Structure 1
């Protein structure tokens, strides 16, 4: 009797916790679509008047010789009058350095400069900090080496700064090659929900883990903050937490025409390593406790939840079916068995929302999403959760063992080859 009661209480408690986490995550994802006014407010305003700011665009590149030239060319197409591009290359990466040097030599007016990172152990924040003293612009922007940037983005960002008085403007980033694999489909949808919706809620609440690129910070604010934490594997999240804790104003804008387009990791192992790095970085930011300087209790609770979300989300998808199976197979009261299925209800609602989101994603980007893609989305859900759980476990293991090396994600330009057919 006592054992049954204890098991019933355990299953009931787990079920309620899982239900709350799944429901909160779903509510979070739906933020931008709550009302037409909310959706409209997430977009860039059309630029009005002259351009007032100058930009230093940082482009860290390591073993990116296959995609770097295209990215530089796209940035040079910008219609903004005042910007410079600073490419950061490693002293031990001659192939990428050669591509960067050629681009600098042919760029008009010395608009492209190359800075060499001489750190023995390389990572992205070290590269960014190497370039920061060389920045001449009013605003520092960060892009990745494979980015496909819209020519009018800087004009819209300039207007966002001047119209709102923002210290930081976070633009949208979108993975495009959803057709490449079953996991690429889910990866693209994750980015869609994150930048299209969730970051806007973070900005409204005054706590935001910034994205790693298409992020713009006033140069004086960035230097005052000491740049990026070069020992953190999620330097973007860390910077966002520190700036939020200092009360800096962050504006998030997402417009399908203006997003920076990227590609998903090319292999499952590459995705696992990338997600491990992000998870470990979030764990590092949590342990640094800068979020404790946030002024309100609600912001601090949101910070706790956000920084732990990768771990909770990963295990939620694995535990939900196990919990339901335990309630079915074990002799527990009917009420407890009913409670155990509550998380499945939110899981089904999440699947429905993802299907609608995939359709919206295809519509916004002119991509034809077919029936097999929807089937892959549903069938791949459980396997993707296992991948996330594996990355979470691996992140904790690496952090406990003090392994802090940067596992690089390689790029081949899959987002530049349009195999999809426009709708």
Structure 2
């Protein structure tokens, strides 16, 4: 019995390590992110673009930061409009948005829209309100505090025109000058440069993010109501046969202010993904696509679940070896060696990503703690009753 328990824990550790290794090697051999072959086009050939900025309880400086990136775009300004949408009862943000927009009225066509349907705070509701007022053939979505290159809008439009994509997303790197911010930055590098390319290549599903997201107006007239509306939108587009692209660009977004805000954000994401799965099956999708979506969920949830399971198992074995003497110290050493070897292998594979955000010494100490936190939040999220857009405090 004791041997079977230890073997089971070692198998969990090996499966988790193998999953990461497979994702890493697949992502290194594919080119998921693209750039348009055209670097310039005649102005008359470019469509009008509407940039939608849903804001809730935001500061003037945060709104200005995004507007500054929009204003710096090399896209023709006469073909660009910006719509800032605010809940009608969020009076402070409305005033902050007016003050922020005032700085850019000479360079941008800006509209401030109020969302009257603010009873249930979902970002998708605000997005749909703004879409009713858009005049662009392509709609782009950003959040407050977003910073992005000045060629992002042009390259996204050109890529959609060249490849016939209905939607295009990009990398979204979340960063803050703190320990938690550095870990979130590393996590976002891994997600967009390893996990997303793996999912796109193997199961042909591309989860999009709500920032740096561009959609053809004729492909969607309604953003599905969900706490993870970006993922559900990508599922809907793919299930209807639309093609989705990934632009080789990035958005820098300010990471959550503290660990409380971080946990609230993750709970919203996790609950949103679970909600999306229920909505997809209620509305009906083809069997082969349903299978692909289920595989996506398995690949996302399984690693943190395996991590938490193996750590809890290790703690129980340590307790039973040291306190109750049910296991020998040799068995504990054996299990500890498996855990350490697994961590070293994953850290070695991740070395290029780690070097972009922190030194290896910090990663060795901090990453296991962060992984455990992520795993714990992931598997406990279903127990948290929420139904609204939990604001991420930045």
TM range (shorter): 0.7 to 0.9
* Equivalent residues of 1:315, 1:385 under 8 A apart: no
- TM-score with structure 1 setting the length: 0.79
**Between 319-328 and 162-171, the greater mean CA deviation after superposition:** 319-328
The residue number in structure 2 matching 1:315 is 305
Q: Please give the per-residue CA displacement for 1:345-373, whole angstroms capped at 9, x wherever unaligned.
A: 443211122332122x35xxxxxx5xxx4
SS in 1 for 2:150: coil
Q: What's the CA shift for 1:382?
A: 2.5
Q: What's the CA shift for 1:275?
A: 0.8
The residue number in structure 1 matching 2:231 is 237
The residue number in structure 2 matching 1:70 is 65
Taking the aligned partners of 2:99 and 2:255, their CA distance within structure 1 comes to 27
Equivalent of 2:378 in 392, 400, 418: 392
Q: What's the CA shift for 1:20?
A: 2.4
Is 1:184 the counterpart of 2:181? The answer is: yes
The residue number in structure 2 matching 1:246 is 240
The residue number in structure 1 matching 2:392 is 409
The residue number in structure 2 matching 1:358 is 354
Q: What's the CA shift for 1:344?
A: 5.2
Q: Please give the per-residue CA displacement for 1:253-294, whole angstroms capped at 9, x wherever unaligned.
A: 23xxx3111121110111111111111111112223449725
* Equivalent residues of 2:12, 2:310 under 8 A apart: no
* Equivalent residues of 1:245, 1:295 under 8 A apart: no
Q: Give the alignment of 1:87-236 within 5 angstroms.
A: 87-105=84-102, 106-108=104-106, 111-118=109-116, 119-177=118-176, 180-204=177-201, 205-223=203-221, 227-230=222-225, 232-236=226-230
Taking the aligned partners of 1:32 and 1:216, their CA distance within structure 2 comes to 23
Q: What's the CA shift for 1:166?
A: 0.8
Q: Give the alignment of 1:361-380 within 5 angstroms.
A: 361=356, 369=358, 373-380=359-366
Taking the aligned partners of 1:203 and 1:135, their CA distance within structure 2 comes to 30
* Equivalent residues of 1:203, 1:250 under 8 A apart: no
**Between 214-223 and 22-31, the greater mean CA deviation after superposition:** 22-31
* Equivalent residues of 1:15, 1:341 under 8 A apart: no
Taking the aligned partners of 1:264 and 1:218, their CA distance within structure 2 comes to 28
* Equivalent residues of 2:205, 2:296 under 8 A apart: no
Taking the aligned partners of 2:90 and 2:230, their CA distance within structure 1 comes to 24
Equivalent of 2:255 in 246, 264, 268: 264
Instruction: Return 5+ residue gaps in structure 2 as ranges.
Output: none
Q: What's the CA shift for 1:313?
A: 2.9
The residue number in structure 2 matching 1:52 is 46
SS in 2 for 1:113: strand
Alpha-carbon spacing, 1:388–1:229, altered in 2? closer, same or farther (3 Å): same
Aligned length: 377
* Equivalent residues of 2:19, 2:303 under 8 A apart: no
Taking the aligned partners of 1:115 and 1:376, their CA distance within structure 2 comes to 45
Q: Once superposed, what is the RMSD of the aligned Cα atoms?
A: 3.0
**Between 184-193 and 13-22, the greater mean CA deviation after superposition:** 13-22
The residue number in structure 1 matching 2:369 is 383
Q: What's the CA shift for 1:222?
A: 1.3
SS in 2 for 1:259: strand
Taking the aligned partners of 1:300 and 1:22, their CA distance within structure 2 comes to 27
